[in-house]
Each structure stands twice: as structure tokens, then as C-alpha cells.
């Protein structure tokens, strides 16, 4: 048994060198069928991480051992942002993707990361497939999409290649049983060429652990957002808190947007996924949905540094939604591949 796994199972700290040794040993195992012992150790390691998070130093060493192996994304695009969540929490439609398109529509450069559904009806990748919007295949393609459209939806190349090798070793087992852990850590593992990142943290995610890890993320300022409703998005009708590198920002319900509405107004629509989403991008999915999208887009505008006042950024996002600019952007990106949307 590898020393990293032995220490992890015993509840002892796992230093950076041990994690590096783990990935070094894993790398040559990805050609051809994995040995049963390798598969068992990989599954045991992930099961342990999913069952009980290790101490902060061990997690910091783990994330460092993964991100140091990822390709360099190049310099961050000026004033660019990413929005991503940990998943979990109350079910909502794809608010972070809607906020990303809305922020792009008001001139904020956005590089959006995401994943397939783990607990939700459809993750951002599932939705983008339905819309016909393609993910970028590399950092050069991301830069090209950003220059041409003001937004890019980054593909799996932003995540450490070691995770792909881990998945190959696990086969025919899948990573899905370990989704809770991977979704929690995933937002901090992506190598995204942005200056800031808004990360929504649901009530079930370990906020204190993420606050410990966020300052260690290289190249971008990580904002962590959570609220009294337990969702991993900012909500106008909940008390929201943002932990930024400059300090803690509190946004009580109604502070920026009117506080009318409930989580039921933000429920997912799996039977009308693209139709409802496109209506939301044109401010036609109800006031609570429109205000929630605008509030999250405003947070992206402030994180980017392009805006300094919540009211101004929120109003700009509302105006864009009223004009249908985010929907027009989504339709241009999807071109001929969209599924028919209901009126």
C-alpha cells in the first residue's frame, strides 16, 4: 500500500512529497488495463477523501500536487472572471451559466468552467450540449473564444491531467460515487486564465476548508459566496456572505435587489431545459429569476474590477436581461445546434 494512502487511512497528515510520489506511481499505470491492486488503492483513496476530509495541510498538499502538474494556462486575461459552484444545496436551474452569459453581455470577460450533473437535474456541461455551445479544447482556443465572443466555456483541459489518469485506473469503476468530494475541490483545481473567480459554496460543503485553501490558488483572486438558504449562488431573498481576498462582504436580503421570491421560483425545468433557460436570459422566467441572475452577474462585474458599485453593476445586468442580450449571445454561440425552444 502506498504511504500516502496508509497515512490517509490512519488519519495522519500526508505531505506534498507523498502526494507527488502517489501521482508518479499512478502515471505509468494508465497504459492498458489497470491492475486490481492499483484500482483498489485508487478507490480506497477517493473513498477516504469522500467520507472524511483530511486536515487542511493535507488537502493543501493534495491540491498543490495536482495543480503543479497541470499545463500553464498562460497569463490571465485582464479583468476576466470565472463563476463556478460546489454543487449540492437546494435545486435551482443553471444560474451560474446564466450569470456568466449576462456578465459577458455587459462587457465582462468570462471564462466559465463547470461539470456534468452530480446532484442537479443538469450540470452546466449538460445544458451547453443541449444549447449547441461547444467547450474549448485548449488554452489557445479559450483565448480565441474570449477575444471573439467575450466569453469562453472551458473544456476538461483546465483540470489536472492526473485526475484523468486516475479515472482510467479506476475503470470500469466511475468517479461518480466520489462526486461530492471532487465537486468541492474542483473549483480550486482548474487552471483558468482569469484574474478572479466567484465560487458558490453550498451549505453541505466545507466552507472553512475552502477558505483555508482559496488564498493558495495561484493566479486568480478567489471569492467564496454562501447564504442563509444553503444554495451555491447569491440569492436576493437570502442573507449572502462573500469572502474575498480584501475581506468579508455581507449582503443581507434586499441589500442590492428586492427580496421578494423563494427557491421555488428558481426551480430547475428538466422537461424544458433550454426553453426555460433562454427565457431566463431574456428576463422572461419571472422576477425572482431575473433578479438572481442579475445579482450574480453583478458580483462577477465587481470581482473583475470593471465595476466598483453593486447598484451600478446590478442595474447594468438588469438592462441587459431586459434587452435580451444574454439570450442573443447564447443563441449566437449555439448557432445551428440548438434544440427547439418553447416560446
Structural domain tally of the chain? 2
Residue 72 lies inside a defined structural domain of this protein: no
Q: Is the pLDDT at 30 greater than 60, yes or no?
A: no
Pair 100, 215 in one domain: yes
Taking a C-beta distance cutoff of 8 angstroms, is the pair 101, 321 a contact? Answer: no
Q: How far apart are CA 11 and CA 30, in angstroms?
A: 28
Mean pLDDT, range 49-71, rounded to an integer:
91
pLDDT value at residue 245: 96
Judge if 61 and 91 occupy the same domain: no
Cα–Cα distance measured from residue 48 to residue 53, given in angstroms and rounded to the nearest whole number? 8
Would you give the distance in Å from CA 200 to the centre of its chain? 8
Please indicate, yes or no, if residue 10 is contained in any of the structural domains.
Answer: yes
* pLDDT beyond 60 at 31: no
Asked whether residue 195 is assigned to any structural domain, the reply reads yes
Q: Assess whether pLDDT exceeds 50 at residue 337.
A: no
Per-residue pLDDT tens digits for 87-141? 888 999 999 999 999 999 999 999 999 776 555 557 788 899 999 999 999 999 9
Residue 133 and residue 255 share a domain: yes
Instruction: Say yes or no: 55 and 101 in one domain.
Output: no
| High-pLDDT (> 90) share of the chain, % | 75
Quote the mean pLDDT of the chain: 91
Better-predicted residue by pLDDT, 126 or 343 = 126
pTM, rounded to two decimals = 0.92
Tens digits of residue pLDDT in 225-265: 999 999 999 999 999 999 999 999 999 999 999 999 999 99
Residues with Cβ within 8 Å of 17's Cβ and at least 6 positions away in sequence, in order, are none
For residue 172, whether the previous peptide bond is cis, meaning omega lies within 30 degrees of 0, is yes
Domain that holds residue 109: 81-154+190-337
- Residue 299, SS3 per DSSP: helix
Is 272 found in the same domain as 133? Answer: yes
User: What CATH number did the domain enclosing 49 receive?
Assistant: 1.20.970
Residues 52 and 99 in one domain: no
| pLDDT score of 176 | 81
Task: Let me know if residue 183 belongs to a domain.
Answer: no
Q: Are residues 54 and 117 in the same domain?
A: no
Spatial contact of 187 and 113, defined as CB atoms under 8 Å apart: yes
Nearest to 211 by CA among 219, 229, 199, 193: 199
| Domain assignment of residue 178, yes or no | no
Last residue of a domain, one of 19, 35, 67: 67
230 and 114 housed in the same domain: yes
Residues 23 and 143 in one domain: no
pLDDT band per the 50, 70, 90 thresholds, residue 37: confident
Whether residues 60 and 202 fall in one domain = no
Amino acid at each position: 500500500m502506498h504511504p500516502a494512502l496508509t497515512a490517509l487511512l490512519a488519519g495522519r497528515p500526508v505531505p506534498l512529497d507523498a502526494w507527488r510520489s502517489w501521482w508518479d506511481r499512478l502515471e505509468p499505470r494508465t497504459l492498458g488495463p489497470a491492475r486490481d491492486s492499483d484500482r483498489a488503492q485508487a478507490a480506497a483513496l477517493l473513498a477516504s477523501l469522500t467520507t472524511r476530509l483530511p486536515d487542511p495541510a493535507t488537502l493543501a498538499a493534495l491540491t498543490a500536487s495536482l495543480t503543479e502538474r497541470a499545463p500553464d494556462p498562460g497569463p490571465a486575461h485582464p479583468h476576466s472572471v470565472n463563476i463556478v459552484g460546489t454543487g449540492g444545496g437546494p435545486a435551482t436551474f443553471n444560474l451560474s451559466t446564466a450569470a456568466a452569459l449576462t456578465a459577458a453581455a455587459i462587457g465582462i470577460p468570462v471564462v466559465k468552467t463547470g461539470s456534468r450533473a452530480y446532484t442537479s437535474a443538469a450540470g452546466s456541461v449538460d445544458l451547453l450540449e443541449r444549447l449547441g455551445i461547444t467547450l474549448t479544447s485548449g488554452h489557445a482556443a479559450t483565448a480565441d473564444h474570449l477575444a471573439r465572443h467575450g466569453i469562453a466555456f472551458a473544456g476538461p483541459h483546465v483540470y489536472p491531467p492526473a485526475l484523468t489518469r486516475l479515472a482510467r485506473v479506476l475503470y470500469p469503476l466511475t468517479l461518480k460515487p466520489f462526486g461530492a468530494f471532487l465537486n468541492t475541490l474542483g473549483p480550486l483545481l482548474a487552471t483558468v486564465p482569469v484574474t478572479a473567480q466567484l465560487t458558490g459554496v453550498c451549505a453541505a460543503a466545507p466552507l472553512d476548508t475552502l477558505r483555508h485553501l482559496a488564498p493558495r490558488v495561484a493566479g486568480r483572486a478567489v471569492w467564496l459566496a454562501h447564504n442563509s438558504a444553503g444554495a451555491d449562488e447569491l440569492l436576493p431573498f437570502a442573507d449572502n456572505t462573500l469572502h474575498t481576498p480584501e475581506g468579508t462582504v455581507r449582503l443581507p436580503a434586499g441589500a442590492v435587489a428586492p427580496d421578494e421570491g423563494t427557491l421555488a421560483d428558481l426551480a430547475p425545468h428538466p422537461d424544458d431545459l433550454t426553453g426555460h433557460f433562454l427565457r431566463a436570459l431574456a428576463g422572461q422566467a419571472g422576477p425572482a429569476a431575473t433578479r438572481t441572475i442579475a445579482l450574480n452577474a453583478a458580483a462577477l462585474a465587481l470581482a473583475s474590477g470593471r465595476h466598483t458599485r453593486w447598484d451600478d453593476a446590478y442595474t447594468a445586468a438588469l438592462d441587459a436581461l431586459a434587452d435580451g442580450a444574454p439570450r442573443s449571445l447564447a443563441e449566437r454561440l449555439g448557432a445551428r445546434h440548438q434544440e427547439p425552444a418553447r416560446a
